[in-house]
């Protein structure tokens, strides 16, 4: 159990997301981001499976075949695309992705950039979050709404190419105001 290592990691991550969200004008989301990580259902497994260079959820998943902390986390945090699934009306008995509201897509960008900074450390550059998005192991099978994936990919690529200051300003002034019409086609 590495209580202090895990506490330091999640607190650093939350702080970075808060800074990013504030730059986007998402003040309440910045303040409340990932508070469930401090609950016993997520914090205890996080301490037990803490590695420092990867998510403890992945280590728990390797050990148990699934992650109890992740199952708890994704059901309570709207900035994860996995939260946005529901039973399909077109195909009864199956789950289908739901398009995420823009403010949660923006928070997901902040989350992914912050996670890349925390886990990559000195190796971080602005392309890390986009590279992770492009190579995600479940890319072909993840249940993410097509438009959400398009918007997330576009915004992460903007971070990679133009830098986070430019991208966060764009998110605040254009994306969150719905002025990105061409992206919806």
What would the pLDDT profile of 2-28 be if each residue is shown by its tens digit?
A: 999 999 999 999 999 999 999 999 999
Residue 64, token pair as written in the block? 């148990």
Q: How far is CA 73 from CA 36, 41, 161, in A?
A: 7, 9, 31
Using the predicted structure, report yes or no on whether residue 181 has a pLDDT greater than 70: no
Mean pLDDT, rounded, of the chain: 93
What pLDDT score was predicted for residue 127?
Answer: 97
Q: What is the pLDDT of residues 37-86, one digit of tens each?
A: 999 999 999 999 999 888 999 999 999 999 999 999 999 999 999 999 99
What pLDDT score was predicted for residue 158?
Answer: 97
Beta bridge partners of 46: none
Q: What is the pTM of this model?
A: 0.92
Q: How many CA atoms lie within 13 A of 53 on its CB side?
A: 2
What's the distance, CA 61 to chain centroid? 18
Band of pLDDT at residue 142, cut at 50, 70 and 90: confident
Q: How far is CA 108 from CA 22, 24, 112, in A?
A: 14, 12, 6
Contact 115, 121 (CB under 8 A): no
Torsion of Cα atoms, 138 then 140 then 145 then 151, to 10°:
90
Residue 25, token pair as written in the block? 């004008």
Q: What is the pLDDT of residues 87-135, one digit of tens each?
A: 999 999 999 999 999 999 999 999 999 999 999 999 999 999 999 999 8
Three-class DSSP category at 85: strand
Band of pLDDT at residue 141, cut at 50, 70 and 90: low
Q: What sign does the dihedral 130-52-103-82 (CA atoms) show?
A: positive
Q: How many residues does the chain have?
A: 185
């Amino acid at each position: 159990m590495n209580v202090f290592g895990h506490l330091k990691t999640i607190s650093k991550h939350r702080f970075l997301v808060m800074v990013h969200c504030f730059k986007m004008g998402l003040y309440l989301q910045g303040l409340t981001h990932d508070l469930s990580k401090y609950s016993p259902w997520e914090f205890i497994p996080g301490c037990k499976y803490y590695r420092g260079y990867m998510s403890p959820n992945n280590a728990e998943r390797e050990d148990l075949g699934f992650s109890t902390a992740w199952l708890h986390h994704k059901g309570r945090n709207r900035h994860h695309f996995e939260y946005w699934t529901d039973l399909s009306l077109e195909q009864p008995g199956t789950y289908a992705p739901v398009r995420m509201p823009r403010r949660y897509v923006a928070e997901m960008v902040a989350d992914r950039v912050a996670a890349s900074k925390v886990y990559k450390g000195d190796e971080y550059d602005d392309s890390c979050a986009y590279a992770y998005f492009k190579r995600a192991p479940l890319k072909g099978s993840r249940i993410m709404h097509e438009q959400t994936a398009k918007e997330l990919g576009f915004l992460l690529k903007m971070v990679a190419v133009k830098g986070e200051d430019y991208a966060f300003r764009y998110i605040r002034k254009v994306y969150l105001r719905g002025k990105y019409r061409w992206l919806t086609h």
